[in-house]
Structure 1
Amino acid sequence: MSLSRYFPILDWGRSYNRSVLTNDLMAAVIVTIMLIPQSLAYALLAGLPPVVGLYASILPLVLYAIFGTSRTLAVGPVAVISLMTASAAGAVAAQGTAEYLEAAVTLAMLSGVMLAVLGLLRAGFLANLLSHPVISGFITASGILIATSQLKHILGIKAGGDNWPDMLGSLAAGIAQTNPWTLAIGIPATLFLFWVRKGGKPALQRLGLPPRAADMTAKAGPVAAVALTILAAVLLDLGDRGVNLVGGIPQGLPPFAVPSADLSLIEKLWVPALLISIIGFVESVSVAQTLAAKRRQRISPDQELIGLGAANIASAFSGGYPVTGGFARSAVNFDAGAETPAAGAFTAVGIALATLFLTPLLFSLPIATLAATIIVAVLSLVDLKTPGRLWRYSKADFAAHVATIGITLVAGVELGVIAGVAVGLLLYLWRASRPHAAIVGRVPETEHFRNVERHEVFTVPHVLSIRIDEALTYLNARWLEEYVLERVAEKPELRHVILMCSAVNEIDASGLESLEAINHRLEDGGIGLHLSEVKGPVMDRLKRTDFLEELHGKVYLSQNRAFDELVRDDGAPGLPQDHFIARGMI
């Protein structure tokens, strides 16, 4: 087995040259500038000291550069995972305690091990188990929760709550104690960040900057907000006016941390860690695939599991918390011209230099500025158009989407994910148990067969053609049996039933038993059962049973041939024994 299967760096590293190095370095500088305030803000969201966000943005990036397959994915703290970390760690320890930090570090370790093991087992298909409506609903609800949780920092009041109603009630109770100086920092910072996200680039272009330079400069808007509010805090002495500041941030490289081996703690954290792993993986793979498609590149979901697992394990041992690939920073990395994962490693160097030399400058940074950064970032995740689109397209997907939003807002992120997956699974099982089937007839002057309720088609009273549009499994076998027999009961002159199987990809044991039951019931009534357009793999399995020998009819290569032959049959009901395995059977 090639080492590059598990170490993609050996693949892209062979063609690394000075031109690629220049592009990666330029992208790293831009992402580093963006990542510093973002990492501090997301650590605050996770209920951790701000420096932990920086720690989680160093070694994880290096490990992903070695094991990851995306050329442009930027790994680090993200809003949703930070919220889930706060929820999980807050269930076992109080914020601000050593136990809380230990829980966050242990979450990163558990998540990393789970992801790595799933990668080694080649379980990348897990990304397909969460439907888009469920993921979209969860992210929308999480964005609302996150933005609401940060309003207390904008107002300068004490508030809390584990769900949206509690948060709103706590904010309403404390709003009378709003600190006007904090509000004077928080509202302008929020408005500026909203403006710079949409209007910064056009404004800079009007000043003469080229489009790409204007775009990159606008994306550094949070850095400008940080610098300006630090300056305001120093000049106006806002710390003495009740404005919460970041305060002292430890200077230096990440410490070596040891995740907890306490089995009782691990028992409490493994379920949240699994949810964090799945949500983080789905988000990361979605971003990576989107960006890879733009450059006609590809990623390996299985290896992405290993890459993200290694990144989280590295985060744990360097005092960080769970990380994944983030859309915003990955898009900036892509737009800035990053060509290989080395750009992420260079970004890690930039963050490390920041922890060594820049943290003293952040002492007077208002917490309200970090809260504004979070609010602006997460509100872009809130999608209020999807419910309307889903309602028009699929009521079942709409139900899964809305249920995920509602339960996440009311019961919290963990129950929201579980409920969303459960609702999606139940709806899938319900749909699978009632597959689509249609009575079909031949379109005149063609060999095509279409639904009699949708098209003008040719049919005859003694032949009933039923197209089955789903695999025949234990979920729908009984339904098919009842459907066929009900249709037969409506046609007393019937002599032949054709099951058109062009869309049947599988027939399991329960499906086979139902076909045998249908065959025997029709035989008792003097009616022949025929199959048409059976797929090769399905036919191979049928040949290993006695069904074809007992079939009171034929298996036809095409629906048109079956219809032509049976339309001309005007004899007595039923077929003789020598026709059971006759010409035309495949």
Structure 2
Amino acid sequence: MRRTRVTAWRRTVLRDVVAGLSVAMVGIPQSLAYAELAGMPPVVGLYAGALPPLVAAVFASSPYLQTGPVAVTALLTFGALSTVAVPGSPEYVGLGLALALLVGAVRVLLGLLRAGWLAYLMSQPMLLGFVPAAALLIAGSQLPRALGVTAPAPFGNEILDAGWALAGPDRWAVAAVVASLVTAAIVLGGRRLHALFPGVLVAVVAGVAVSAAGLYPGATVASIPTGLPPFTLTAIPWSSLPALALSGVLIALVGFTEAASISRRFAAEERTRWSADREFVSQGAANLTAAAFGGMPCGGSFSRSSVNRMSGAATRLSGGVTGLAVLAFLPVASVLEPLPTAVLGTIVVVAVVNLMRFGPLLALWRVSVPQAIVAWGTFLATILLAPRVDLGVLVGIGLSLLVFLARMLRLDVDTHVEDGVITFRPRGVLWFGTAQELDTALLDALAEHTDATALVIDLERLGRIDTTGALVLRSVLDQARAAGLTAEARGIPPQSEDLTRRVLTSRSSLS
């Protein structure tokens, strides 16, 4: 029996080691690419892909979730910092550390307070608008690099910069275009061959080999410091924390949706438990580690988590193996210095193609016009306000709240009259914001049907009734009786029955 357990344990460890190494092979080049997307030196991405996933694995709830630099969080980071410091500068890198600290602190706090339910409060229509907009901006920011061009005077908007690059094919660098096309072919073609084909790794190795042989005349990564991650907690500009607080909260919440969605999906497929609270702590601890050891804001990666699962990962150990593998690579990271930046740009573009899902955006008009307005409003705001994509998120949240309030402030009262009986069937929520609608409906009905003898208020289609709503309901019934009608309320919602009956049967004046 003991030998069987030992054998099973060894098999599990082997699976995790293989899966962790497989993810590291994809994660190393992606970390470089996402660091540049965030406006950071490439090595910062490697630092964020080393110790943070190792720490995240200790607290994680999902055995498959892989933590490190991710595209959307990188874009949010660039949006928050690029307007206050020059990307790539020491000041910018320091602000990135501060932002990672804030993101980590918020997530850990939410996890410890058992506020994991907040992960479900990000409106789905808002995300349907934000994610494809963010993907377009990410692809747009990398397109000039993939084409080997640099705008003499950037427009400050990734879409406009990409349009400028596409509009001048005479400016394209042939070597960069070839490298980009080959990279895209390897990555996308590899996926068709097998889901686990290491297309990103093959493209990077090929790019480094060609460049190192002197066959690539274009821009390369050029410089990657070697060595273990530095301790940077003392380098954080603490005075900048208040100014970055809002961005930190938004990244903590929006960036968590990717980790939450992939973890929930895997848990549902395997019929296992998953804790949003634990995952908040896990992702928070990873960001705190990134702030302490030279990294940048990070999150759970959908693509690398999928690779981890398909590679046979069995436990959270695989995430730790990935972190250790990246950590072991750091002393020799300079081997990637010849890597063409066009290859990195194409890796990012290919990675976000699957996020450009416009079908649900179009279909939303047929499902719900108000929710479609939220989605498209978020989409347009994110595009137009770039690089401040965090403001696009705020617009989406604001639109979601407005739609919610508009729905909550509406009470539809269907009126049916037959044989002298007036029947009201209100739909919505009867609360202090809508209660006057019921009173108005009564006055209109009495004025229009002077021969009516009875009033029935059917409450079956109400969501709930609050105290003010119950008081107005009683007032409407009393007014009808004072007008000479018999009056009754029926079909009271179960969740509001006790309160409503107490108010209706109370003999004391409550109004």
Identify whether the pair has TM-score above 0.5, normalized to the shorter chain: yes
Unaligned runs of 5+ in 1: 1-14, 202-214, 441-458, 552-586
Query: What amino acid sits opposite 2:266 in the alignment?
Result: L
Partner of 1:350: 325
Q: Are positions 1:405 and 2:379 aligned together?
A: yes
Q: Using the alignment, how far apart are the partners of 2:185 and 2:449 within structure 1?
A: 70
Q: Using the alignment, how far apart are the partners of 2:161 and 2:311 within structure 1?
A: 38
Q: Using the alignment, how far apart are the partners of 1:394 and 1:82 within structure 2?
A: 32
Shift of residue 394 of structure 1?
A: 0.9
Shift of residue 384 of structure 1?
A: 1.4
Correspondences of 1:375-414 after superposition (within 5 Å)? 375-412=349-386, 413-414=389-390
Partner of 1:519: 477
Q: Are positions 1:258 and 2:236 aligned together?
A: no
Q: Using the alignment, how far apart are the partners of 1:488 and 1:23 within structure 2?
A: 75
Cα displacement string for residues 264-316 of structure 1 (whole angstroms, at most 9, x for unaligned residues): 41122111111101101222111110111111012112222222111111111
Partner of 1:235: 213
Shift of residue 55 of structure 1?
A: 0.9
Q: Using the alignment, how far apart are the partners of 1:431 and 1:177 within structure 2?
A: 52
Partner of 1:149: 141
Shift of residue 337 of structure 1?
A: 1.9
- Comparing 518-527 with 141-150, which one deviates more in the overlay? 518-527
Is the contact made by 1:471 and 1:503 (CA closer than 8 Å) also made in structure 2? no
Cα displacement string for residues 119-178 of structure 1 (whole angstroms, at most 9, x for unaligned residues): 222222212322111112101000000101101111212233432454246536876533
Is the contact made by 1:102 and 1:259 (CA closer than 8 Å) also made in structure 2? no
2:184 alignment partner, one of 183, 190, 194:
190
- Comparing 43-52 with 500-509, which one deviates more in the overlay? 500-509
Is the contact made by 1:429 and 1:475 (CA closer than 8 Å) also made in structure 2? no
Query: What amino acid sits opposite 2:406 in the alignment?
Result: W
Shift of residue 361 of structure 1?
A: 1.8
The two structures, once aligned, show a CA RMSD in angstroms of 2.4
Report the secondary structure of 2:464's partner residue. Answer: coil
Cα displacement string for residues 241-260 of structure 1 (whole angstroms, at most 9, x for unaligned residues): 3x111123122221111166
Query: What amino acid sits opposite 2:46 in the alignment?
Result: L
Is the contact made by 1:275 and 1:414 (CA closer than 8 Å) also made in structure 2? yes
1:542 alignment partner, one of 491, 500, 507:
500
Partner of 1:85: 77
Q: Are positions 1:43 and 2:35 aligned together?
A: yes
Using CA pairs under 8 Å that are at least 6 residues apart, name the structure with larger relative contact order, 1 or 2. Answer: 2
Correspondences of 1:271-350 after superposition (within 5 Å)? 271-350=246-325
Partner of 1:4: none
Partner of 2:404: 428
Q: Using the alignment, how far apart are the partners of 2:172 and 2:234 within structure 1?
A: 39
Cα displacement string for residues 191-242 of structure 1 (whole angstroms, at most 9, x for unaligned residues): 3323333x233xxxxxxxxxxxxx31x2x1011111111122123442xx3x
Distance 1:19 1:169, change over 3 A: closer
Query: What amino acid sits opposite 2:473 in the alignment?
Result: L
Is the contact made by 1:106 and 1:260 (CA closer than 8 Å) also made in structure 2? no
Q: Using the alignment, how far apart are the partners of 2:365 and 2:307 within structure 1?
A: 33
Partner of 2:193: 200
Correspondences of 1:77-156 after superposition (within 5 Å)? 77-156=69-148
Q: Using the alignment, how far apart are the partners of 1:257 and 1:504 within structure 2?
A: 56
Cα displacement string for residues 66-118 of structure 1 (whole angstroms, at most 9, x for unaligned residues): 21211211111110100111111212211121110001111000011111112
Is the contact made by 1:85 and 1:104 (CA closer than 8 Å) also made in structure 2? yes
Partner of 2:456: 498
Is the contact made by 2:377 and 2:396 (CA closer than 8 Å) also made in structure 1? yes
Q: Are positions 1:482 and 2:440 aligned together?
A: yes
Cα displacement string for residues 333-375 of structure 1 (whole angstroms, at most 9, x for unaligned residues): 1222212211101111111111133x13212100110100000
Partner of 2:44: 52
Partner of 1:162: 156
Is the contact made by 1:112 and 1:312 (CA closer than 8 Å) also made in structure 2? yes
Is the contact made by 1:157 and 1:174 (CA closer than 8 Å) also made in structure 2? no
Partner of 2:202: 224
Distance 1:516 1:55, change over 3 A: same
Correspondences of 1:561-580 after superposition (within 5 Å)? none
Query: What amino acid sits opposite 2:138 in the alignment?
Result: I
Distance 1:528 1:64, change over 3 A: farther
Query: What amino acid sits opposite 1:121 in the alignment?
Result: L
Query: What amino acid sits opposite 1:88 in the alignment?
Result: A
Q: Using the alignment, how far apart are the partners of 2:380 and 2:20 within structure 1?
A: 39
Partner of 2:13: 21
Shift of residue 437 of structure 1?
A: 4.8
Partner of 1:533: 491
Q: Using the alignment, how far apart are the partners of 2:453 and 2:310 within structure 1?
A: 67
Q: Using the alignment, how far apart are the partners of 1:323 and 1:524 within structure 2?
A: 66
Q: Using the alignment, how far apart are the partners of 2:26 and 2:221 within structure 1?
A: 18
Q: Using the alignment, how far apart are the partners of 2:249 and 2:13 within structure 1?
A: 37
- Comparing 510-519 with 289-298, which one deviates more in the overlay? 510-519
- Comparing 135-144 with 462-471, which one deviates more in the overlay? 462-471
Distance 1:256 1:518, change over 3 A: same
Query: What amino acid sits opposite 2:43 in the alignment?
Result: V
- Number of residue equivalences: 499
Query: What amino acid sits opposite 2:455 in the alignment?
Result: V
Report the secondary structure of 1:280's partner residue. Answer: helix
Query: What amino acid sits opposite 1:506 in the alignment?
Result: R
Report the secondary structure of 2:233's partner residue. Answer: coil
Q: Using the alignment, how far apart are the partners of 1:68 and 1:406 within structure 2?
A: 35
Report the secondary structure of 1:470's partner residue. Answer: strand
Shift of residue 183 of structure 1?
A: 2.1
